Chain A
């Protein structure tokens, strides 16, 4: 019997155990809900089930993020599919009663809840909100480690890379670099030691996709990394995760320990000659460490400052060895691609951007939360059909994507399809997946200044254009906003955008002017109306 057979046995046992329950109560225990006392709620539910001797009928299961973080804590009762939001520990009794009788508990019942999901396609988040993130068994029930078994026993590294290339998957960290190409570059690099790094230093202020995935489905990341390591010939991996995400770190640590015990990490994985180990490294609050070379410097224990590329990490990375760096969401796509084939994956999305994208939909929008949509969906569908438009009947003014590196897209352009190229063409970018909706009360100048303040304080200070340019642009935006700016200030601002964009060392500086450039492009009037010498602008 192989190790994988044993695992399948575990999956079957778990499956049978779950099947015996008449009802399941899924309680979200991701950070958003946990901060609203969801853990107490889960304890209370479990106690009640015990008290009423329902242990054999009702299963209280802790699951990952369900998506609608603004209205937590969330509970879903299965198989009825009743969904409840804003559940307090004191509501536990009523919910247990509802589960028993099958009659929904009206005060908290959200019959419309499914609409939020109707327009979504969940690949990365397929397990989020339904699988217990701390249970390997539950992951196995949901096809967990099937892909790793296929990769290690039926495929060669070249075939895996070919499969990823054919899927059309592109890096989800922001740049959209083809993942298959990145893998083949590292595979080609000659060295006895290679590294795989999972970039979980989610720095975009207003995005929490990576945190949710790590909290909701940690094994998926380990599986994706292990497949990647086998494909490129790496024996060591690091997950570089923000120290601000304690729950994600805790769940990853637990998953790593368990995976090691079950021969899913460590030496001779699944009984094959392949060895791979994963270690967690903590980030310490520096946005620039999302940049690959800065991230490497940080793992090496140094100040997280980027260095000129080339050489690229694929060639000269951690400790000077070839290094593959992939973002959390990218790695979360690997197992499904190997499991279901590249054709299946490529059937989602557009010609140049395949698959799905996870967004953190926030700002002035009715349904804030985490969504996963197929590439090519329009912004309008996201904002109105999924997000439910702006609250209080206000008009949507613009949507900001790409965080501090992206731009603002005005309302009249919301029919734009969401893919890497379309967003770039309008001066924004996909970014890691922050999507902020702004209503007609928002000042575009203020938004630009907010992001410039961010880039200014996050600039590492190594290269001059980024260090000084962001500070100068921030000051100029402040002058204009407070009504003392002149047309000359605006000209200087444009000039600084140009020099910072084209001469900065890394992506942070090169893209720092984007929020200014895009608001200047689409909302120039807002800038001009604040100048002291508007007349000069007319000339």
Chain B
């Protein structure tokens, strides 16, 4: 019987790389300093493959695949940054800007926002799609934090960190489609939540200015995410098993 190889060799953007069969394209890309944009993915949280920014091409495959959720295979030729991919990524960011009410100049996270960073990096200079200007609310009821639904991109990082790491599951998503939005408990004001432990993990993993700390001035609203790697290691959590 032939011996099964657990290490796969393949190419990424023409570069020879290798990875263990339990590693994803995204992990190998990061090990090799190949930058693939991500938004919903965060080390330590479960993988959902929802933002579609990390889609890559694999030569000979007829569909684009999410780098975060695709394991490496022997001999695959991965293309991470073709013009087509760049276009799609820019369009997805445009869609997000058009969907919510994102006004960087008046946002406390200006300068410390993943959405803003990606827009700049992907060269999105303006939004061609009509702004949907949804009527969204700001929940100021919590004593320490603010939830501004105008700036929420529904990446569900807060939902996952609260459920998977904190174990409270205070957050979830109501409804579906473009009408869906985040809720605490039975869609009650955050400050009235029976389940929230006020740990602030949701605020720290939020990529935009949707969940922020009260009283922080713009420029100082910096999210700290080191705890995620530490906690997952200490608790031996593996959310993808």
* Chain A residues proximal to chain B, CB less than 8 Å: 286, 288, 303, 307-308, 310, 456-465, 467-472, 475-476, 492, 495-496, 499, 502-505
Judge whether A460 and B177 touch: CB under 8 Å: yes
Contacts of B95 in A (CB 8 A): 464-465, 468-469, 472
In the A-B complex, the 9 residue pairs with the closest CB atoms: A308-B49, A461-B180, A468-B95, A459-B177, A308-B69, A471-B178, A503-B52, A499-B91, A461-B177
Closest to B181 in A: A461
Inter-chain contacts of B91 with A (CB < 8 A)? 495-496, 499
Q: Are A457 and B177 within 8 A (Cβ)?
A: yes
Q: Which residues of chain B are near A456, meaning CB under 8 Å? A: 177-178
Contacting pair A463 B129 (CB below 8 A): no
Q: List 6 A-B contacts (CB under 8 A).
A: A303-B173, A459-B177, A463-B50, A464-B99, A472-B132, A503-B55
Set of chain A residues within 8 Å of B55, measured between Cβ atoms: 503
B66 part of interface (Cβ distance < 8 Å): yes
A503 to B69, CA, bound (A): 14
Contact for B175 among A461, A476, A492, CB less than 8 A: A461
Most buried by B among A464, A469, A472: A464
Bound complex: CA A503 to CA B50 (Å):
10
Is residue B176 contacting chain A, with contact meaning CB distance below 8 A?
A: yes
Interchain CA distance A463-B47 in the complex, whole Å: 13
Contact B129 A504 (CB under 8 A): no
CA of A505 to CA of B54, assembled, Å: 12
B113 at the interface (CB under 8 A from A): no
Chain B, residues 169-187, CB within 8 Å of chain A (1/0): the string is: 0000101111110000000
Find the B residue at minimum CB distance from A488.
Answer: B128
Chain A residues in 8 Å Cβ range of B69: 308
Assuming the contacts A307-B48, A471-B178, A472-B129, asked whether A503 and B92 have C-beta atoms less than 8 A apart, the reply is yes
Q: Which residues of A contact B88 (CB under 8 A)?
A: 499, 502-503
Question: CB of B203 within 8 A of chain A?
Answer: no
**Is residue B64 contacting chain A, with contact meaning CB distance below 8 A?**
yes
Q: A308-B69, A475-B130, A499-B88 are in contact. Are A462 and B48 (CB under 8 A)?
A: yes
B51 within 8 A of partner (CB): yes
Contact with A along B38-59 (1 / 0, CB 8 A): 0000000001111110010000
Indicate if B98 sits at the interface (CB-CB under 8 A). yes
Contact A492 B129 (CB under 8 A): yes
> CA–CA, A455 to B55, complex, Å?
22
Interface flags for B192-204 (1: CB within 8 Å of A; 0: not) read 0000000000000
Complex Cα gap A458–B176 (Å): 7
Say yes or no: is B72 at the interface (Cβ < 8 Å to chain A): no
Cα(A308)–Cα(B65), bound, Å:
9
Q: Are A458 and B129 in contact (CB under 8 A)?
A: no
Asked whether B154 is an interface residue with its Cβ less than 8 Å from the other chain, the reply is yes
Contact of B177 with A499 in the complex, beta carbons under 8 Å: no
Pair B52/A286 contact, Cβ less than 8 Å: no
- The residue in chain A whose Cβ has the minimal distance to the Cβ of B130 is A475
Quick check: is B96 within 8 A (CB to CB) of the other chain? yes
**A residues within 8 A CB of B87?**
499
Identity of the chain A residue whose Cβ is nearest the Cβ of B91 in the assembled complex: A499
Give the chain B neighbours of A502 by CB distance below 8 A. Answer: 63-64, 88
Determine the chain A residues whose CB is within 8 A of the CB of B178 once the complex forms. Answer: 456, 459, 461, 467-468, 470-471
Q: Which of B128, B153, B176 has the most CB of A within 10 A?
A: B176
Q: Assuming A307-B49, A504-B52, is B177 touching A465 (CB within 8 A)?
A: no
**B92 with A464: CB separation less than 8 A:** yes
**Across-interface contacts of B48 in A (CB, < 8 A):** 307-308, 462
CB distance from B52 to the nearest CB of A (A): 5
Closest to A288 in B: B176
Q: Which residue of A lies closest to B241 (CB)?
A: A320
Q: In whole Å, how far is B223's beta carbon from the nearest beta carbon of chain A?
A: 21
Of the candidates B50, B88, B99, the one having the most CB atoms from chain A within 10 angstroms of its own CB is B50
Residues of B within 8 A of A469 (CB): 95
Residues of B near A468 (CB, < 8 A) are 95-96, 98-99, 178
A474 closest partner in B (C-beta): B178
Question: Is there contact, CB below 8 Å, between B129 and A470?
Answer: no
Nearest A residue to B66, CB-CB:
A308
Question: How long is the Cα–Cα vector from A479 to B128 in the complex, in angstroms?
Answer: 15
Q: How far is the CA of A303 from the CA of B128 in the complex (A)?
A: 32
Q: Is the pair A463, B51 in contact by a Cβ cutoff of 8 Å?
A: yes
